[in-house]
């Protein structure tokens, strides 16, 4: 055996030049992955170009009724046409900006008050700032206002309801704007001028939109004119060309050469609420979070980079030899094979008993039963019942019979002078020398 241990060692291999490596060098790496790297770079460039084109074409924000949005719900078309007609369109996203724009327009323009368009679908308009609202002047176009806006700016107008199905409505009034247009496509909400409001105002409703409401309501109070446009759709890029929409839009908004396009936004809210979380956090928090992200990525690289290849190991199949016995026992139990199970126990016991009693292999069952009964000093009928005859009808009977079998075996062992090891004794395993 020592000859094996003193095995010769493998001859050390002499390696001239650089040893063979399986890790690609940087050059090989780039050559191998050139296609995918190229594809990735191409993808990045393509998306950048696409972003640039879309950005130039004015898809910024894409918010409804924005003068720079070319989306179906935007209002770039009407704003551009107004600009070509000599109307200066100034956009504002807060009341302060709108008031400033109105003041600027008054200072520069000769035509007095500018037209102010207010479109506020999210109810950002600070209706409680009455002084600022009054500073907007006397030429206001409210596009689909809610009742709070109406209360503040056009108290004589009330909402009648949502226009159900879009349809084309005739003017049906004497307003010159409406008469020129003839028809518009209605949508949005309907409005009504309260006849008996007693506010001293006068006005008209045009383009009936069901439920006694109108899509266009104009209220005059002294020298101020507030026009409520219920059909907000007529200003959008999608519907501006339908029916007389364009005519109404240009008539309403192009009356004077200054237009303030006021879309109330979240900027109106920050004026009144407490300072937001963003305003309270110091300026270094965002960079610090970015730094932590970088640190996290570096730590992942540090812990995740494997030193060398994954080593493959073929694992052996582990089959326990006792599995067949366990499986067969479960089959017996599942199918309640009491008789079959007891048969196995009986055959084993009888075989061992006849061995203990020195009976020949050819001994018949009745002979074994008689011999057992006489040795164990039991009634032959009982022994026959336990060893052969009784059928186990219930689990309890099976248990009892199997117990009786062990009892008989132990008695015979004691009787023939072979002391049982432990009750109930296991049969002695055959040793290698038995043949």
- Using CB under 8 A as the binding rule, the residues of this chain from 5 to 34 that contact another protein are 5, 7-10, 12-15, 18-23, 25
- Nearest Cα neighbor of 192 from 212, 175, 210, 221 is 212
Residue 316 as a binder of another protein (CB under 8 A): the answer is yes
Q: Which is nearer to another protein, 195 or 278 (CB)?
A: 278
Using the rule CB under 8 A, give the single segment among 125-133, 173-181, 236-244, 399-407 that binds another protein: 399-407
Burial class (CB in 10 A: 0-12, 13-18, 19+), 369: buried
Task: Quote the least distance from Cβ 270 to another protein, whole Å.
Answer: 21
> Cβ 45 to another protein, closest distance in Å?
24
CB of 334 to another protein, least distance (A): 9
Decide if residue 278 touches another protein (CB under 8 A). no
Exposed (0-12), middle (13-18) or buried (19+): which is 314, by Cβ within 10 Å?
exposed
Choosing from 131, 277, 279, 311, the residue that interacts with another protein (CB under 8 A) is 311
Stretch of residues binding another protein (CB under 8 A), selected from 67-75, 183-191, 215-223, 315-323: 315-323
Nearer to another protein, 200 or 432 (CB): 432
Residue for token pair 């366990």: 326
Q: Between residue 182 and residue 201, which ones bind another protein under the rule CB under 8 A?
A: none
Let me know the angle formed at the C-alpha of 399 by 395 and 405, rounded to the nearest 5 degrees: 140
Residues from 350 through 379 that contact another protein (CB under 8 A): 351
Closer CB to another protein, 21 or 362, in the complex: 21
Contact between 414 and another protein (CB under 8 A)? no
Dist. CA 256–CA 269, nearest whole Å: 30
Provide the sign of the torsion angle of the four alpha carbons 61, 62, 63, 66, taken in this order: positive
Q: Angle CA(117)–CA(121)–CA(123) in degrees, nearest 5? A: 95
Residue 56 sits in the site that holds another protein (CB under 8 A): no
What is the nearest approach in angstroms of another protein to the Cβ of residue 8? 6
Q: Is 134 in the site for another protein (CB under 8 A)?
A: no
Binding another protein (rule: CB under 8 A), the pick from 61, 72, 355, 424 is 424
**Of 19 and 200, CB closest to another protein:** 19
CB of 406 to another protein, least distance (A): 6
Element (H, E) at 370: helix 365-376
Q: Which stretch binds another protein (CB under 8 A): 4-12, 123-131, 137-145, 252-260?
A: 4-12
Site for another protein in 223-252 (CB under 8 A): none
Residue 142 phi/psi, 5° resolution?
A: -95, 120
In the complex with another protein, the residue whose CB is nearer, 196 or 309, is 309
Contact 180, 209 (CB under 8 A): no
Per-residue exposure over 243-255, b if at least 16 CB sit within 10 Å of its own CB, e if not: bbbbbbbbbbbbb
- CA distance readout (Å), 185 to 108, 158, 161, 271, 309: 36, 21, 17, 37, 71
Of these, 275, 319, 358, 417, which contacts another protein (CB under 8 A)?
Answer: 319
Count the alpha carbons within 13 Å of 229 in the hemisphere toward its beta carbon.
Answer: 27
322 binds another protein (CB under 8 A): yes
Task: List the interface residues with another protein, window 108-127 (CB under 8 A).
Answer: none
Please report how close the Cβ of residue 297 comes to another protein at its closest, in angstroms.
Answer: 9
Structure tokens at 159: 């909402």
Q: Which of 84, 113, 86 is nearest to 101 (CA)?
A: 113
Figure out which of the listed residues 56, 277, 279, 317 binds another protein, where binding follows CB under 8 A.
Answer: 317
Residue 193 neighbours by CB under 8 Å, 6+ apart: 156, 157, 203, 204, 205, 214, 217, 219
Q: Report CA-CA distances (Å) from 274 to 5, 270, 278.
A: 84, 7, 12
Residue carrying structure tokens 């009986």: 346
What is the footprint of another protein within residues 323-342 (CB under 8 A)?
A: 323-326, 328-330, 332-333, 340-342
Which of 197, 286, 374, 389 contacts another protein by CB under 8 A?
286
Q: Is residue 348 within the footprint of another protein (CB under 8 A)?
A: yes
Minimum CB separation of residue 427 from another protein in Å reads 6
């Amino acid at each position: 055996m020592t000859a094996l241990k003193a095995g010769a060692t493998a001859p050390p291999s002499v390696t001239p030049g650089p040893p063979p490596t399986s890790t690609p060098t940087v050059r090989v790496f780039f050559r191998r992955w050139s296609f995918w790297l190229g594809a990735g770079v191409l993808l990045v460039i393509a998306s950048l170009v696409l972003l640039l084109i879309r950005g130039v074409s004015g898809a910024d924000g894409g918010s409804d009724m924005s003068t720079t949005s070319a989306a179906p719900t935007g209002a770039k078309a009407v704003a551009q046409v107004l600009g070509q007609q000599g109307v200066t369109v100034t956009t504002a996203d807060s009341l302060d900006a709108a008031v400033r724009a109105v003041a600027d327009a008054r200072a520069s323009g000769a035509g007095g008050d500018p037209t102010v368009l207010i479109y506020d679908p999210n109810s950002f308009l600070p209706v409680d700032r009455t002084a600022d609202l009054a500073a907007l002047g006397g030429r206001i176009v409210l596009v689909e206002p809610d009742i709070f806006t109406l209360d503040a700016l056009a108290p004589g107008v009330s909402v009648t309801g949502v226009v159900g199905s879009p349809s084309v409505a005739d003017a049906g009034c004497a307003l010159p704007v409406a008469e020129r247009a003839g028809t518009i496509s209605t949508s949005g909400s309907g409005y009504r001028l309260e006849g008996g409001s007693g506010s001293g105002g006068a006005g008209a409703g045009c383009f009936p939109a069901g439920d006694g409401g109108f899509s266009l309501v104009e209220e005059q109070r002294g020298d101020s004119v507030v026009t409520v446009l219920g059909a907000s759709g007529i200003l959008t890029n999608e519907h501006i060309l339908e029916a007389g929409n364009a005519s109404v839009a240009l008539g309403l908004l192009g009356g004077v050469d200054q237009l303030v396009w006021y879309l109330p936004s979240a900027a109106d809210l920050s004026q009144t609420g407490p300072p937001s979380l963003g305003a309270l956090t110091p300026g270094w928090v965002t960079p610090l979070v970015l730094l932590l992200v970088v640190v996290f990525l570096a730590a992942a690289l540090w812990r995740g980079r494997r030193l060398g290849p994954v080593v493959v190991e073929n694992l052996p199949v582990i089959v326990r030899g006792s599995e067949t016995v366990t499986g067969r026992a479960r089959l017996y139990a599942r199918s309640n094979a009491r008789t079959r199970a007891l048969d196995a126990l009986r055959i084993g016991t009888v075989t061992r008993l006849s061995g203990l009693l020195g009976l020949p292999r050819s001994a018949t069952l009745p002979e074994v039963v008689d011999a057992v009964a006489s040795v164990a000093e039991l009634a032959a009928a009982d022994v026959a019942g336990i060893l052969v005859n009784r059928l186990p009808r219930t689990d309890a009977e099976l248990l009892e019979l199997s117990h009786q079998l062990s009892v008989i075996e132990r008695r015979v062992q004691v009787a023939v002078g072979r002391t049982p090891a432990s009750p109930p004794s296991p049969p002695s395993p055959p040793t290698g020398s038995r043949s």
